Amino acid sequence: MIVDVNSYLGHYPFRRLRMTGARAMVEHMDAHGINVALVSSLNAVFYRDSHEGNRELFEEIRPFGSRLVPVATVNPKYVGWKEDLADSVERGGAKAITLLPEHHGFQLADERGQAALSRIAEFNLPVVLTQRLEDRRQRHHWDIAEDLTLASVIEAAAGHPTLRIVFSNWIGLDGAAMLAAGLRGRCLIDFARLQVLMIKDVPKLIDTLGVESIAFGSHMPFDYLGPSLVKLANLAELYPEDYDRIAWRNATEFFRLDLPYTDKS
């Protein structure tokens, strides 16, 4: 069983993606042995009213039951965002909330960002913080988003000691700094852009933050699934006793998923 914690549905304005709808996503998952994916709306990144993207997402994935788990996107600069957040959880079934400070024009540490983090913590949901959607070296000239920095996350998280944080699509994470910031036990890191072999970021993070901090993530449909599947196969050899945790159990516990599968091998 594999749960992918880093995936999207919808259109990206600067590049054609091969899978934009839920049916194509599920077929792609079936072809590559992925059982469940936590999905965010790409449309919600770019719509002025992000919640309209959430609503599209909830409708789109409904026929596919627990195969696709919604992650709602909240823009704390937009009117009604608190109601939208509540609606996402209560009617949409969102299991986490994505904040996009670079795309929505705020800082995690400013008044808007702090209010959003507080509200997410009150709902006892994880916040998903994505370092980047795509490499800046190929950016469209309308794309001005910079990569999130670990320092900004640590600074913003300091005032929310119970908030759980998903580090999605990151590289360059400093495990020692995260440990010192008290993030061990309340962070989940997907390895879409990390390496198991060679520079060994994933084993180093496991050493520092514990195996419970690592989860499978692919960044589909932006990226190929193959790289993350290769890394998972390598982790299966290096951490055979922890394979289930990395492949699905950490994600299931962190997002508090109630999956109907009985065979989780």
Residues of this chain that bind another protein (CB under 8 A): 2, 15, 17-18, 31-34, 134-141, 193, 195-200, 203-204, 207, 219-234, 236-241, 247
Backbone angles phi, psi at 60, to 5 degrees: -65, -40
How many residues are recorded in the chain? 265
Select 97 or 247, whichever has its Cβ closest to another protein.
247
Q: How far is the CB of 203 from another protein (least distance, A)?
A: 6
Q: How far is the CB of 230 from another protein (least distance, A)?
A: 4
Select 92 or 203, whichever has its Cβ closest to another protein.
203
Q: Tell me the two tokens of residue 249.
A: 């159990």
Contacts of 74 (CB under 8 A, 6+ apart): 50, 51, 81, 84, 85, 88, 97, 98, 99, 116, 120
Q: How far is the CB of 121 from another protein (least distance, A)?
A: 33
**∠ CA(3), CA(180), CA(130), 5° rounding?**
40
Q: How far is the CB of 170 from another protein (least distance, A)?
A: 13
Select 237 or 258, whichever has its Cβ closest to another protein.
237
Select 115 or 145, whichever has its Cβ closest to another protein.
145
- Tell me the CB-side half-sphere exposure of residue 15, using CA atoms within 13 A: 14
Q: Helix, strand or coil for residue 201?
A: helix
Q: How far is the CB of 255 from another protein (least distance, A)?
A: 20
Select 83 or 207, whichever has its Cβ closest to another protein.
207
Q: Helix, strand or coil for residue 79?
A: coil
